[in-house]
Chains A and B, each alone.
Chain A
């Protein structure tokens, strides 16, 4: 490990270096997955006047396990 990369955890560094060797199309293919998200995927179109409105809607309507709620950390 060089001094430049010393602050990066070794497992992450290995992942970043491996990814850098893959062509973009392959990285994209590995990256995108699709699973059904309850509520979120039940409408074809939503528009919100503000990000605050969108965040509020997520908090009030989406199941917590989807991860769209504000972190309490």
Chain B
């Protein structure tokens, strides 16, 4: 009977992990993809994330599974990216007052197949703004959770979101006003 009792604990642990897998598999893979830029690496990262979840206890993570998963996933993805030496790590442009790259001209944006205008504009934002925007609006995480995931302070998260949203608004508005201005680079912040 003891034996069975122990099994039951493991089973409930397993089903807990399986339901977490079901719930977060797709969001995490998309998130990791955003960091690694490589689908296979992203999947490996998410796999590793869940492998780590296997050794966590449900009680310890109660109510915090989402930020925990995103955090582990993020760190793993950044490690992978560093190793791949593909791009700078996110940390490096945390300093923030970097200027946005030139916005893409409309035609080029349209050419990004199937991508809507706002998503195309999103790709022109600095990576740290892009990341918090995705965490906030794609994964419905709170400032506090995003802060836990990224290691930024909540006010920093709020600042990045504020900045990112403002840039998007401005870019969209300029779009609707006409394309003559759109070749001019946007200055990020005064």
A, B from the same assembly? no
